[in-house]
A = this chain, B = another copy of it.
């Protein structure tokens, strides 16, 4: 592969006399944990992280396991950061999506879920005993929450843990097949440690869902007593993760197995918890585990960055129908430019969300925002990557061109860490309680910044008010999903416009163009609402369509070449943009090995 410097660089593009610097953009976007981020990206140059497309099921799993081990050696990601420095933890996980989603989720299960549960729901004794072994990758961890019968409804799980004071132990049982743990990442082959969700009973009293830490395999890799595990099977993607199914049959766990930050059992066998009600206790435990959701949302945003970088480069370089570049067609700009705007917008609000987690802000706010953004970011990813794929024509389907593989591997992200449809309902429950009076009618005339923000806020407020009036959320679940979106969209836009103010002056115009496109396109998506509510009239709508078209043209440049600068701003290093079409598709050639080579 001959490494080429990508042709269309910031400096070479005449941007009406004031070319924005992609380096400056990147500095602004990637302003956190800069050194560590760079060190990881550099570390990922190792051969082990080079893409491989034709591995068998088990070969891919072994490779993913090797990758985890090698990453651990780099000492970038530490479970202690859940407690000490969540922001650093997030930064450590971020680059992985550029490599492959299996390794991202493999690390997610190990460091974020297993490590996070122990760090955040356990106490010092658990930290000391387990976290160093997780950090070094020596004790592969799993997180066993979901059961065959109970996915979205975690409170309904059936695995039981009964405290036996005579033995100072818990006895764990699966009971029926419906209570077997399913989809448990890492369980099928490599996992040795497991954090397990179960319904606790102490002295005959039911105490609700609690989390335990236990070994499922010994140091030789043999299953522990009472543990049965089966393979979940071949998935449509992400087969590098060894998802398994677990049954517990009278598994005996010592008293220290209970992760006891929110509830403990004393020497006398008496149960203690600072939180009295069972649902509130459950809420506190699950609320502590928002890190996973944040990571999934961030991965979705990062996947959009990579997909757009590839699709934009190709589109501005590929002619079709004479000399005309496909990036010059309006349908192309319409498909790519809003994606770039959404990706900037989501990246920037994610910085805020990670900041809230880092600062241990109000858990309820974090729950609402992380749920809304997880759903919004992953659904946006579905849309953006599919558009990127289609924009690349046939070339988008080649595994080497990266986009297709992400579509396949990441399909799960709308489902795990909270199914999006369910999350949006939860967001609504979280934000509706505040009560709201009927919003004053507004009108949008010029699509100015103030008007745009006002309009997005207005939609959220009206939908809240409407749902409160309607009362029956169940019969209006469709509107609940709409409100979840409206909530996420407004906060994302509001933050984006604030960023425009915060940013270095040289970047402001560019960021503002993107923020405007983001807000305009959201208005257009929800134009029905705006027209019906009298915010805009029929003429205003035609104006809106034209404004979106204009804005797509401005943001894209004639052949889409401006989009390349914006994508360079994402700061993905060349060695992780392995797609041949992103480097000059004319040189495309194939080799006897599978997969195209440059």
Interface set of A (CB-CB < 8 Å, partner B):
53-54, 56-57, 146, 148-153, 156, 177-178, 182-183, 230-237, 245, 319-322, 329-331, 334, 382, 386, 389-390, 393-394, 396-400, 404-405, 407-408, 411-412, 414-416, 419-421, 474-478, 481, 527-528, 531-534, 537-538, 541-542, 545, 549, 585-586, 588-592, 594-596
Copies in the complex: 2
Q: How far is the CB of A584 from chain B (nearest CB, A)?
A: 12
Contact of A245 among B183, B329, B533, B590 (CB under 8 A): B590
Chain B residues with CB under 8 A of A386: 382
Chain B, residue nearest A155 (CB): B321
Q: How distant is the Cα of A399 from the Cα of B531 in the complex, in angstroms?
A: 43
Question: Can you list 25 A-B pairs, Cβ within 8 angstroms, ordered by A?
Answer: A57-B594, A152-B320, A153-B320, A177-B586, A182-B394, A233-B400, A234-B594, A235-B398, A235-B404, A236-B398, A236-B399, A236-B405, A236-B407, A330-B475, A330-B477, A330-B478, A390-B415, A390-B419, A393-B415, A394-B415, A397-B411, A404-B411, A475-B549, A478-B549, A532-B538
Chain B residues with CB under 8 A of A414: 390
Chain B residues with CB under 8 A of A531: 528, 531-532, 538
Chain B residues with CB under 8 A of A231: 590-592, 594
Chain B residues with CB under 8 A of A230: 589-592
Cβ-defined contact, A234 with B399, below 8 A: yes
Q: How far is the CB of A186 from chain B (nearest CB, A)?
A: 15
Q: How far is the CB of A115 from chain B (nearest CB, A)?
A: 22
Cβ-defined contact, A178 with B586, below 8 A: yes
> Known contacts being A153-B321, A411-B407, is A398 close to B232, with CB within 8 Å?
yes
Chain B, residue nearest A528 (CB): B527
13 more A-B residue pairs beyond the given contacts A153-B320, A230-B589, A394-B416, with a C-beta to C-beta distance below 8 A = A56-B56, A146-B394, A148-B586, A148-B588, A149-B319, A177-B586, A231-B592, A233-B399, A330-B476, A394-B412, A397-B412, A475-B549, A534-B538
- Chain B CB within 10 Å, residue with most, of A397, A411, A415: A397
Q: How distant is the Cα of A394 from the Cα of B531 in the complex, in angstroms?
A: 38
Q: How distant is the Cα of A152 from the Cα of B324 in the complex, in angstroms?
A: 13
Q: How distant is the Cα of A56 from the Cα of B592 in the complex, in angstroms?
A: 15
Chain B residues with CB under 8 A of A538: 531-534
Chain B residues with CB under 8 A of A153: 320-322
Chain B residues with CB under 8 A of A151: 320, 393-394
Chain B residues with CB under 8 A of A405: 236
Chain B, residue nearest A148 (CB): B588
Cβ-defined contact, A397 with B532, below 8 A: no
Q: How distant is the Cα of A531 from the Cα of B531 in the complex, in angstroms?
A: 7
Q: How far is the CB of A528 from chain B (nearest CB, A)?
A: 4
Cβ-defined contact, A233 with B478, below 8 A: no
Chain B residues with CB under 8 A of A595: 233-234
Chain B residues with CB under 8 A of A236: 397-399, 404-405, 407-408
Q: How distant is the Cα of A232 from the Cα of B594 in the complex, in angstroms?
A: 8
Chain B, residue nearest A238 (CB): B397
Chain B residues with CB under 8 A of A396: 415
Chain B, residue nearest A594 (CB): B234
Cβ-defined contact, B591 with A394, below 8 A: no
Chain B, residue nearest A536 (CB): B532
Q: How distant is the Cα of A477 from the Cα of B389 in the complex, in angstroms?
A: 19
Q: How distant is the Cα of A420 from the Cα of B331 in the complex, in angstroms?
A: 11
Cβ-defined contact, B235 with A152, below 8 A: no
Q: How far is the CB of A108 from chain B (nearest CB, A)?
A: 15
Q: How distant is the Cα of A474 from the Cα of B396 in the complex, in angstroms?
A: 24
Q: How distant is the Cα of A421 from the Cα of B234 in the complex, in angstroms?
A: 34
Q: How distant is the Cα of A232 from the Cα of B580 in the complex, in angstroms?
A: 13
Which 10 residue pairs of A and B lie closest in terms of their CB atoms, listed nearest first? A236-B404, A532-B538, A53-B234, A230-B590, A330-B477, A234-B399, A233-B596, A527-B528, A331-B477, A153-B321
Chain B residues with CB under 8 A of A331: 421, 477-478, 481
Chain B, residue nearest A56 (CB): B56
> Known contacts being A230-B591, A531-B531, is A397 close to B235, with CB within 8 Å?
yes
Cβ-defined contact, A541 with B532, below 8 A: yes
Chain B residues with CB under 8 A of A233: 53, 398-400, 590, 594-596
Q: How distant is the Cα of A74 from the Cα of B149 in the complex, in angstroms?
A: 43
Q: How distant is the Cα of A517 from the Cα of B596 in the complex, in angstroms?
A: 46
Cβ-defined contact, B399 with A334, below 8 A: no
Q: How distant is the Cα of A200 from the Cα of B178 in the complex, in angstroms?
A: 67
Chain B, residue nearest A539 (CB): B532
Chain B residues with CB under 8 A of A596: 232-233
Chain B residues with CB under 8 A of A330: 474-478
Q: How far is the CB of A286 from chain B (nearest CB, A)?
A: 15
Cβ-defined contact, A389 with B404, below 8 A: no
Q: How far is the CB of A418 from chain B (nearest CB, A)?
A: 11
